[in-house]
């Protein structure tokens, strides 16, 4: 019988054995797999970097520090979505979790039926946020490239956009790649010494 791909691979960062057992069971029952476990904040990022899970579940209180702060570092360094696992529901904690980039919340004691939807939601939201950031970053490059074309050739904004679009179509590359290349060449042209 062939092995099936798990629904998601999950890293668990929690020092309470009972919580980890409950999470392991719920993850397996929902068709997922545990990628690895850590008991300390200090071990969270190395665990995620080593195991490359689809999502990580962090407890708030960990022996060596604040789980929300550790989650924030993990999100920034590993681009892994994080779900918070806690018995606390106070407004300041939820606000801190949101600011840290936490994508979903699971309450202790764990209700196994809530785990799957929370993990699916966290992964989907994280992907949407990442795509939105890339789209906005791409638009900034395109706007800067249009500005460079307008300044260099005295084009209108629409003419500059058409040139970028035509270059993208002719080269079969995304417009953002053309914009980046144009900005690099503009930068090089300005940096070359004049005689």
Convert 74-92 into a string of H (helix), E (strand) and C (coil): HHHHHCCCEEEEECCCCHH
Name every residue whose Cβ is closer than 8 Å to that of residue 57 and which is 6 or more positions away in sequence.
Answer: 10, 11, 12, 13, 14, 23, 82, 83, 84, 85, 106, 119
User: Rounded to an integer, what distance in angstroms lies between the CA atom of residue 178 and that of residue 160?
Assistant: 12
Is the confidence at residue 2, as pLDDT, over 90?
no
Contact criterion met (CB below 8 Å) for 125 and 104: yes
Going by the DSSP 8-state scheme, the letter that residue 111 receives in this structure is -
The whole-model pTM stands at 0.77
Contact criterion met (CB below 8 Å) for 54 and 31: no
User: Rounded to an integer, what distance in angstroms lies between the CA atom of residue 156 and that of residue 159?
Assistant: 5
Give pLDDT, residue 19: 95
Domains of the chain, CATH where assigned: 9-110 (3.40.50.2300), 133-191 (1.10.10.10)
At 187, list the tokens.
């930068």
Averaged pLDDT, 44-65: 96
What 100-105 contacts at long range (C-beta under 8 Å, 24+ apart), as own/partner pairs, is: 100/68, 100/69, 100/71, 100/72, 100/75, 101/71, 101/72, 101/75, 101/76, 102/58, 102/68, 102/71, 102/75
Q: What is the pLDDT of residues 57-78, one digit of tens each?
A: 999 999 999 999 999 999 999 9
User: What is the pLDDT confidence band of residue 88, given thresholds at 50, 70 and 90?
Assistant: confident
Q: Which residues is 85 bridged to in the sheet?
A: 59, 106
Q: Are strands 61-62 and 9-13 parallel, antiparallel or unpaired?
A: unpaired
User: Rounded to an integer, what distance in angstroms lies between the CA atom of residue 189 and that of residue 144?
Assistant: 16
């Amino acid at each position: 019988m062939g092995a099936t791909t798990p629904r998601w691979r999950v890293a668990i960062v929690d020092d309470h054995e009972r919580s980890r057992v409950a999470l392991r069971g719920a993850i397996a029952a929902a068709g997922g797999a545990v990628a690895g476990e850590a008991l300390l904040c200090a071990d969270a990022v190395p665990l995620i970097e080593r195991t490359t899970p689809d999502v990580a579940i962090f407890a708030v209180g960990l022996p060596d520090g604040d789980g929300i702060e550790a989650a924030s570092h993990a999100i920034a360094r590993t681009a892994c979505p994080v779900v918070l696992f806690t018995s606390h529901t106070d407004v300041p904690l939820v606000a801190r979790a949101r600011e840290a980039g936490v994508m979903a919340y699971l309450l202790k004691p764990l209700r196994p039926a809530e785990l799957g939807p929370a993990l699916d939601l966290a992964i989907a939201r994280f992907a949407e946020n990442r795509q939105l950031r890339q789209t906005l970053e791409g638009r900034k490059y395109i706007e800067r490239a249009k500005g460079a074309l307008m300044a260099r050739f005295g084009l209108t904004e629409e003419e500059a956009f058409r040139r970028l679009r035509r270059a993208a179509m002719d080269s079969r590359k995304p417009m953002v790649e053309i914009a980046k290349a144009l900005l690099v060449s503009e930068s090089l042209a300005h940096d070359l010494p004049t005689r």
